[in-house]
Amino acid sequence: MTNHHGKEFLGFLATGPAVGIPENIWKWLACPKMKTDELGRPIQAPYGMRKIEAALIDAGFKAAIIDPDHLNKHLPYAKALMFSHHDYFAFGPPSSTWWGITRKEPVNYKSFMELVNRPEIKKEKERGLKILAGGPSVWQWLWREDMIEKLGVDSLVDGEADKVVIKLAQMVLDNEPLPKYVYIGGDEAPSVDEIAEIKGASVNGLIEIMRGCARSCRFCSVTLRPTRYYPLEKIEKELLVNVRNGVKHGIIHSDDVLFYGAIGIHPR
């Protein structure tokens, strides 16, 4: 987990292998480790993970984002381990380009493989720990089904999981079998009121201001979900969470921020 020294675009280095310098220096440049509290909770975390954490906390679950370096403290007591990754198997354009040119595994892929192959995770899996994977690159698992079995993933969660994750967490607690694959389509997308507000700081103060996209390009999966604009008060609340947690700048995010508030393709 990292904030790339506060400079997002340095993150692209983390989609490649170390070139010309030792890997530890490359990783320090691209993705220095995030500071954490004594429990291993990072001072900043990816926004999407913050949303899932917030949804679970609001629903009464004891959930927290834990830096991978501190997982050992919590795994023996955990019922579920939920992963997110921006590019699990390095299929994304930057990672696959780096990999293709250099013939070396990108550091983001290597780091994930090292994490999921840790013996302590395997041990807890045998004890009954459930593993769920979601996030923006969850689709990649569908092209690496071999890894689902190999790494012991119980459930893949594809889409806006703000509501579904609560049902899945309850199923874990009730020892119910989890669905292998959950796809959250447009009909099940949460309304703005159903989207929890983050509880801790997001990486570099990034927050979303809308979901969906009014431009409605026919080829785009974003248009399969309804367009929802966050009211200004909701945006301000999340900015203030970041400020209170020491992140004094912000990045507003959506698939097309300039469409904020638009009706169809006509700006207001």
- What residues make contact with ligand SF4 under the rule CB under 6 A? 213, 215-217, 220, 222-223, 255-256
Q: Which residues contact 241 (CB under 8 A, 6 or more apart)?
A: 197, 198, 199, 200, 201
Q: From the CA atom positions of the chain, what is the Rg in Å? A: 19
d(CA 159, CA 86): 13
Select 170 or 216, whichever has its Cβ closest to ligand SF4.
216
Q: From the CB of 218, what's the least distance to ligand SF4, in Å?
A: 8
Q: What's the min distance (Å) between Cβ of 227 and ligand SF4?
A: 9
Longest dimension (CA), the chain: 56
With respect to ligand SF4, which residue has the nearer C-beta, 171 or 222?
Answer: 222
Nearest distance from residue 257's CB to ligand SF4, in Å? 10
- Cα–Cα separations (whole angstroms), residue 18 to 13, 89, 93, 110: 8, 17, 17, 11
Tell me the CB-side half-sphere exposure of residue 204, using CA atoms within 13 A: 16
- The β-bridge relationship of strands 80-84 and 228-229 is unpaired
Specify the residue, 67 or 255, whose C-beta has the smaller distance to ligand SF4: 255
Burial class (CB in 10 A: 0-12, 13-18, 19+), 119: exposed
**What is the smallest separation between the CB atom of 216 and ligand SF4, expressed in angstroms?**
6
What is the C-alpha to C-alpha distance for residues 47 and 54, in angstroms, rounded to an integer? 10
Q: How far apart are CA 207 and CA 205, in angstroms?
A: 6
Q: In whole angstroms, how close is the CB of 170 to ligand SF4 at the nearest point?
A: 33
Nearer to ligand SF4 among residue 102 and residue 216 (C-beta): 216
Q: In the complex with ligand SF4, which residue's Cβ is closer, 122 or 215?
A: 215
Using the minimum distance from each CB to ligand SF4, give the nearer residue, 191 or 216: 216
In three-state secondary structure terms, 30 is helix
| Least separation in angstroms between CB 256 and ligand SF4 | 5
